[in-house]
Amino acid sequence: MKDGIFLCIAAVTVFGALVTAFSRSIINAALGLLLALVAIAGLYIFLSADFVAVSQILIYVGGVMVLLLFGIMLTSGGDNIFSNNPIMGAVPATLITTIFGLLGIYVVNTSGLTFYQGAYRATTRDIGHFLLREYILPFELVSVLIVVLIVGAGVMLRKELVIVRQAPQKKEGKK
Amino acid sequence: MNFLFFEGISQNPNSYLILAIIIFCAGIFTVLTRKNIIGILLGIELMLNAGALNFIAFSFFRHESADYSGHVFAIFVIVLAAAEAVVALAILLAVYQQRRSVSTDDISDLKG
Amino acid sequence: MTQFIYMFIFAVIYLLSIAVAAGFLTVVERRIAGRMQSRIGPNRVGPQGIVQWIADAVKALQKEDIIPTDAHSFLFKIAPYLVFMGVFLTLVPIPFGAYTLMENLDTGIFYVLAMASFVVIGVMMGGWASNNKWSLLGGMRSAAQMISYEVPAALAVFVVVVMAGTLNFQKIVFSQGASPVDWYVFRNPFAFIAFNIFFIAALAEGNRVPFDIPEAESELVSGYNTEYSGMRFLFFFLAEWGNLVVIGALVSTLFFGGWNFWFEYTLEFSVPGRYPIRFEVLGFLWFLFKVSIFVFIIIWIRWTLPRLRIDQLMDICWKYMVPIGLFASIGILLWMYFVPEKSLADTIMRYSMTSFGGLTILYFFYRVFQNLRVTKAKIYANPFV
Amino acid sequence: MDQMANYIWIIPAAPLLGFMINAGVSFFYGADAPAGLKKLSALLSPAVILVSFFIGLGIFLEMLGHGESERAVSQNLYTWIKAGTLEANATLYLDQLSIVFVLIITGVGFLIHLYSTGYMDHDRSMIRYFAYLNLFTFAMLILVMADNILLLFVGWEGVGLCSYLLIGFWFAVPKYASAGMKAFIVNRIGDFGFIIGFFMLFWGVFHYSGTTNIAFDSLKSVVGSLPGWYLTTISLLFFFGATGKSAQIPLYVWLPDAMAGPTPVSALIHAATMVTAGVYMIARMSFIFIATPFTLTVISIVAALTAFVAATIAITQNDIKKVLAYSTVSQLGYMFLAIGSGAFTAGVFHVMTHAFFKALLFLGAGSVILSAHHEQNILLMGGLRKKIPVTFITFFIGTLAIAGIPGLSGFFSKDEILWKVYSTPNEFFPELPLFLWLTGLITAGITSFYMFRLLFLTFFGKFRGDDEEAYEEVHESPLTMTIPLMILAVLSAVSGYIGLPESLGGQNLIHKWLAPVLALKEEPVVNHEMESHLMNLSILVSFAGAFMAYVLYILKPATPGVIAKTFAPIYKLLYGKYFVDEIYEAVIVAPLLKIRLMLNTFDHKIIDAFVNLTAVVTKAISRLHGIFDRVFVDGAVNNVATFTQYQAGIMRNLQNGSMNRYLYYIVGSFIMIYVFIRIL
């Protein structure tokens, strides 16, 4: 049963990832990504990481995906939204991706790491302790980063800073 | 080939690692083939998630007792991914306001 | 395997009850609206029109399922389910009694906040997929509004989490007591501020008046659900009124003691068999009572206050509620540090705030009856007309 | 140390302060200063001089209380120049010689400042005038108080500058302005000798004794190690400098022209103080001059000639100030006569008495000029004694003093000089003292004659002006002008008694006061009987001169014209001032101008040709360079650029601006790194 559910979720993940990779429509790609992200959150639950799973949904679905959808909607005019995500150079990309995948599988097979049987554990409290004890410095740095981010994003999108450049006129043939 | 290392697929670390590789490869393919910058961003998100999945998997399988460093790293990855998405989209919108395009072909002024 | 079957059965029961509750609430709201506007409201179908909602549902199911031309059909179809899913999933960890809950999640309230984001996606998708500029605007506004108001809501929740020391709903309920003195809302001023912020933010997140900008009829026809009809519209509908229940349940659980009813419960009662079934029933009813009070208040607000403008909405969020929320979350830390529980200051503060709250309610009723006396108006308090 | 000696610095500082304030006001307001500021300036400028005078007087009184060798005081202000081992300090130094000059400068200076407040009352640029006057006082004080020869030179040049500024004070009149320039240029000629002199002195002192200290005290002790010929050269050059400043032959020509300035300036600068700077300088460096008998002989001859020539010119002059100017030159000749005989004390004594009576005469002349509405020709005056009695009396006393009438100061100092000249033997020409004495005696007679001529023509007889109205309007000067006259008259009358010669039973106080600091020749000859005889002779000569003047200008006023006609060539020679200016014009100036033209031609023809040739050659060379540049250097540079561009063309493919390409690079290199690390 568990394996079955796992396989379903894994299949959904792979399906979402493949949609992201191969869809010609940017909005479908984004939806594929959304599917993959939610499914990965499900995988996290298999790995006893419910807090991370919830974080994943909160941040990716509630934040990043909304932002990406905003971005798509703001930058895609009219009808071409379904076909403005062209795929080019598929052959070399496939080649490189295949090489990378084979390499990864090779590494997984030859890693020689020892693994233990994992078990479900309540994690929230312990993650809090880790964050505020061992990883307090990166934690604070992330907060600084986010402040910088807020300010930076705000400054970047201020109207008066944006210089609207005239679209280059197509030159008529010289007579 | 020790693909099925432990009993049960859901309890086998390699299944998670292989899944992560697949997601990562999908991400690489997306990144390499897209001309739309948002498409590239989507690929990057996929790759980051593959990495986070690896972190969680190793945290689950590599320790006899509880150790949540992997979780913490996964959270950092998620947060940084969000940050990166925000900055990237801000830049993207600024570029779009200037050039009315988000294709990498049109944003190639920086030539050697 | 049996575990999953049980889970499935529970899920179906939840789904049905939320549908029934939401449908029933539509009738209730229309009745209340009628009373407030000096009219009767639906009263034909069934006694006092109480099964009106069934008639509506049947009508909606029979309608033609229209998908506009040039709409992105897949997204158009999936959007209402996403919205409904977002609302329905939030019910999973909310405890209606000591046992009456789906899953006692360790990440409880955090999970609820996360699931709410599906609503955002769904609303956006629906608005965008309709290929209608009003819908698109509604969806955009809705997304912006919901994401913005998640911040003060999270800050208010932070206050409660700090006081309880856990994210788990059951533990939050246990750490409060049955009597109003033990409720978090009357524990200290910061929690009271947090309650207000959370309530307002929840209204905004649920797109309720005065924050129903995304579906403002006079501006956007009907917002993101303009193009929807029939069954799909019903899902948006269900989600909206289910959201009322969720808001009421969250507020009751977080700030008003949840299902704790007169008795001092401890964690030991949570062991199966140690807990009498009558307590469970009484607690459930008590919880429902609290929820219906808040639902009534929300409906009341809807028919009382005018709608805000979009810029006012954002101003309220970012210029007032977020700073106040930050103030409250820092203040609660200091309070927890300097005023230990059961200390004299803590006790005095609890009792004084509780009595202040009670006196406020009493004063409200006094003013109501005073006004009635002065204006010599008749009160039609009988709901069964 | 004494109390007052700490305040030496105030003596020059006070006039400097006055100068700064006046100059600031003048600079700010120009010629349009408000009347209040003018009054303030007229109050301030004499006051600062008075301060200096009182400080000097205090120091003098303190000096009196000390022994002969302990009277010198000095104050080091700061190190002025420090170059290698040479060190020139700005040190103020006061000894018996300096204090006499300080008192003359500040005392007479104060009176003249006071007089100026009346004399310049109506001038627009009065504040500027006082600024110059204060600056002059400052420079003069620096000159006499200098501790070393360099600082002395600062004062020396400073007074020259002020003299120039004041002669040309009314610079709007071209004649006056050119007179100022003439004074300056002639002085520069003298200064040239002076500069070479003290460069040689430095070098010589350093070369022969190794000393680099240039203070006078130090020089005095090392001068003996210099060879005689070298020292003689130096002293001749110094004397040449002194002839410029003190108006001796051949450089006296500027002094009569200097009368273009305001009359008080003539009194202060060109009679009382600045022109005696040469005397002071030689007296200060008497230790050099006393060691060079040849120079002393030259000085004697030049001085005697100057005295005689100037006196003869003065006979025929009609301008009241010109007469006094030539008289000044003549009297300066007397002073140098004394120096030439090694009688420095007598020279300084005459400086002092001359300062009093010549200042008196000039101021009196100024008073007359002012009274007579700026008329300076004595032939157009006459009979003024009734109109301006105070001026007349004081002028009369001054005339008596300069003429050598017994009992007045001029008599004593002049007779002292004549006796010293007579009694001092000369090493080169044994008869020279006698001739010098005779010249001096005759000059004394002439002096008496022309001074009384001036007096009679001005104050006696009838008014010879154009109309009676002008005569009626003649009036006495204000008190600010007459009080200085009266004070100076008293001083002219009595100051001689501090140098009362021993032959008359006096103490000769001034000699005793100065002797310790001045190098003197061997012990003076004491022969009171001979001295008395000579004195009687000189009295006789003076009275003779005065009588002749009385006869010619009071009794028979027509006679001078007859005499002039009879001896017309001589008269013309004298009236034309021996045509010295014309000779200078012909001998020096005209050749100089011709040389200038020649040099100009030389410049245009020869030097320019050289320059042009150089240019042509340079052009040709640069052509060659250009070809080399274009072919080889540019070729190399261009080849480097082409090569770089070629390489860049290959490398730029790495950066073609396409994001996808970059991503390929990233992933590809990642794979390669991984392969290298994990597999290889």
Residues of C in contact with A82 (CB under 8 A): 72
Residue D594 and residue D565 share a domain: no
Whether residues A66 and C124 touch (CB distance < 8 A) is answered with yes
Residue D615 and residue D520 share a domain: no
Residue D599 and residue D564 share a domain: no
pLDDT, tens digit (0-9, with 9 covering 90-100), for D567-585: 888 888 888 788 888 888 8
Whether residues A20 and B26 touch (CB distance < 8 A) is answered with yes
Residues A84, A76 contacting (CB under 8 angstroms): yes
> Which chains contact B through at least 3 pairs of Cβ atoms less than 8 Å apart?
A, D
* Structure confidence at residue D87 as a pLDDT band (50, 70, 90): confident
Asked if the structure places residue A83 within a domain, the reply is no
Q: How far is A26 from chain D (nearest CA, A)?
A: 17
Whether residues A71 and B43 touch (CB distance < 8 A) is answered with no
Position B3 scores a pLDDT of 44
Residue D446 to residue C290: CA distance in whole angstroms: 142
pLDDT, tens digit (0-9, with 9 covering 90-100), for D362-379: 998 888 888 877 788 888
Residues of D in contact with B105 (CB under 8 A): 658
Chains C and B touch (3+ CB pairs under 8 A): no
Residue D620 and residue D556 share a domain: no
> Which chains contact D through at least 3 pairs of Cβ atoms less than 8 Å apart?
A, B
Q: How far is C172 from chain A (nearest CA, A)?
A: 15
User: What is the extent of the structural domain holding A37?
Assistant: 1-77
Q: Which of residues 651-680 of D touch A (CB under 8 A)?
A: 660, 664, 667-668, 671, 674-675, 678-679
Whether residues D648 and B112 touch (CB distance < 8 A) is answered with yes
Q: How far is D619 from chain B (nearest CA, A)?
A: 44
Task: Give me the CATH number covering residue A40.
Answer: 1.20.120.1200
Q: How far is D660 from chain A (nearest CA, A)?
A: 10
| Residue from C273, C270, C296 nearest C283 by CA | C270
| Residue from C104, B62, C107, B16 nearest A123 by CA | C107
Whether residues D656 and B112 touch (CB distance < 8 A) is answered with yes
The residue in chain B having the minimum alpha-carbon distance to the alpha carbon of residue A19 is: B26
Asked if the structure places residue A102 within a domain, the reply is no
Position D584 scores a pLDDT of 84
Position B94 scores a pLDDT of 80
Cα A142 vs. chain centroid, distance in angstroms? Answer: 18
Q: Which of residues 46-75 of A touch B (CB under 8 A)?
A: 46-49, 51-52, 55-56, 59-60, 63-64, 67-68, 70-72, 74-75
Touching check for D659 and chain B: CB below 8 Å? yes
* Structure confidence at residue D140 as a pLDDT band (50, 70, 90): very high
Residue D621 and residue D502 share a domain: no
Asked if the structure places residue A72 within a domain, the reply is yes
Position B96 scores a pLDDT of 82
Considering chain B, what is the average pLDDT of its residues? Answer: 82
Residues of B in contact with D664 (CB under 8 A): 32
Residues B29, D660 contacting (CB under 8 angstroms): no
Position D15 scores a pLDDT of 92
What are the backbone angles phi and psi of residue C261, rounded to the nearest 5°?
Answer: -130, 100
Residue A167 to residue C164: CA distance in whole angstroms: 58
Residues of D in contact with A89 (CB under 8 A): 660
Position B112 scores a pLDDT of 45
Residue A63 to residue D422: CA distance in whole angstroms: 125
Residues 6+ away with beta carbon under 8 Å from C273 = none
Q: How far is B42 from chain D (nearest CA, A)?
A: 14
User: What is the extent of the structural domain holding D632?
Assistant: 581-654
Residue from D651, D661, D663, D671 whose CB has the most chain B CBs within 10 Å, to mutate: D663
Evaluate if residue B92 carries a pLDDT over 90: no
pLDDT, tens digit (0-9, with 9 covering 90-100), for B6-28: 557 777 888 888 899 999 999 98
User: What CATH number is given for B13-99 in this structure?
Assistant: 1.10.287.3510
Per the structure, the count of domains in chain D is 2
Portion of chain D with pLDDT greater than 90, in percent: 19
Asked if the structure places residue D131 within a domain, the reply is no
Amino acid code (one letter) for D482: T
Portion of chain D with pLDDT greater than 70, in percent: 98
Evaluate if residue A80 carries a pLDDT over 70: no
* Structure confidence at residue A21 as a pLDDT band (50, 70, 90): confident
Residue of D660, D664, D674 lying closest to A103 (CB–CB): D674
pLDDT, tens digit (0-9, with 9 covering 90-100), for A111-134: 777 787 777 777 788 888 888 888
Touching check for D632 and chain A: CB below 8 Å? no
More confident residue, C273 or B39: B39
Touching check for A66 and chain C: CB below 8 Å? yes
Touching check for A106 and chain B: CB below 8 Å? no
The residue in chain D having the minimum alpha-carbon distance to the alpha carbon of residue B39 is: D660
Q: Which of residues 27-66 of B touch A (CB under 8 A)?
A: 27-30, 32-36, 38-39, 41-43, 45-46, 49, 52-53, 56-57, 59-64, 66
Evaluate if residue D656 carries a pLDDT over 80: no
Whether residues A124 and C113 touch (CB distance < 8 A) is answered with no
| Residue from C252, C159, C146, C238 nearest C199 by CA | C252
Residue C238 to residue C223: CA distance in whole angstroms: 16
Residues of D in contact with B32 (CB under 8 A): 660, 663-664, 667
The residue in chain A having the minimum alpha-carbon distance to the alpha carbon of residue D668 is: A96
> Which chains contact C through at least 3 pairs of Cβ atoms less than 8 Å apart?
A
C94 conformational bin, left if phi > 0, alpha if psi -120 to 50, beta if neither: beta
Per-residue pLDDT of chain C (385 residues; tens, 9 = 90+): 677 788 888 888 888 888 888 888 888 888 888 888 878 888 788 787 788 888 888 888 888 888 888 777 888 888 888 888 888 888 888 888 877 787 788 888 889 988 888 888 888 888 888 878 888 888 888 888 888 888 899 999 999 999 888 888 888 888 887 788 888 888 888 999 999 999 999 988 887 777 777 666 666 667 777 788 888 888 888 888 888 888 999 999 988 888 887 665 555 555 655 667 777 788 888 888 999 999 989 988 888 888 888 888 888 888 999 999 999 999 999 998 888 888 888 888 889 999 999 999 999 989 988 888 888 777 666 666 6
Whether residues A58 and C118 touch (CB distance < 8 A) is answered with no
Position C271 scores a pLDDT of 60
Whether residues D660 and B35 touch (CB distance < 8 A) is answered with yes
Q: How far is B39 from chain A (nearest CA, A)?
A: 7
Q: How far is D637 from chain B (nearest CA, A)?
A: 22
Rounded alpha-carbon distances, angstroms, from residue B15 to A105, B50, D414: 11, 13, 136
Whether residues D663 and B31 touch (CB distance < 8 A) is answered with yes
Evaluate if residue D270 carries a pLDDT over 80: yes
Residues of A in contact with B10 (CB under 8 A): 2-3, 5-6, 46
Touching check for A137 and chain B: CB below 8 Å? no
Cα-based torsion angle of the residue sequence C72, C77, C78, C83 in order, rounded to the nearest 10 degrees: 110
Residue D527 and residue D608 share a domain: no
Position B1 scores a pLDDT of 38
- ω into residue C323 within 30 of 0, thus cis? no
Rounded alpha-carbon distances, angstroms, from residue D535 to C96, D265, D404, D526, D531: 149, 34, 10, 14, 6
Residue C94 to residue C105: CA distance in whole angstroms: 9
Where exactly are the structural domains of chain C?
1-62, 66-338, 340-385
Whether residues A57 and C106 touch (CB distance < 8 A) is answered with no
Position B5 scores a pLDDT of 46
Residue of B28, B31, B111 lying closest to D657 (CB–CB): B111
Q: Which of D95-104, D302-311, D496-505 has the lowest mean pLDDT?
A: D496-505
Residues of D in contact with B107 (CB under 8 A): 657, 659
Both tokens assigned to A37: 């992200």
Whether residues B108 and D658 touch (CB distance < 8 A) is answered with yes
Residue C45 to residue C52: CA distance in whole angstroms: 5
Residue of B28, B31, B108 lying closest to D657 (CB–CB): B108
Where exactly are the structural domains of chain B?
13-99
Q: How far is A163 from chain C (nearest CA, A)?
A: 26
Residue D435 and residue D498 share a domain: yes
Scanning the structure block, which residue is given the tokens 């009662």? C269
Q: Which of A43-47, D254-258, D653-657 has the lowest mean pLDDT?
A: D653-657
Rounded alpha-carbon distances, angstroms, from residue D680 to A101, C246, D673, D674, D676: 18, 60, 10, 9, 5
Residues A37, A54 contacting (CB under 8 angstroms): no
Position D389 scores a pLDDT of 86
Whether residues C114 and A61 touch (CB distance < 8 A) is answered with yes
Residue D640 and residue D529 share a domain: no
Both tokens assigned to D272: 């009382």
The ipTM estimated for the assembled molecules is 0.71
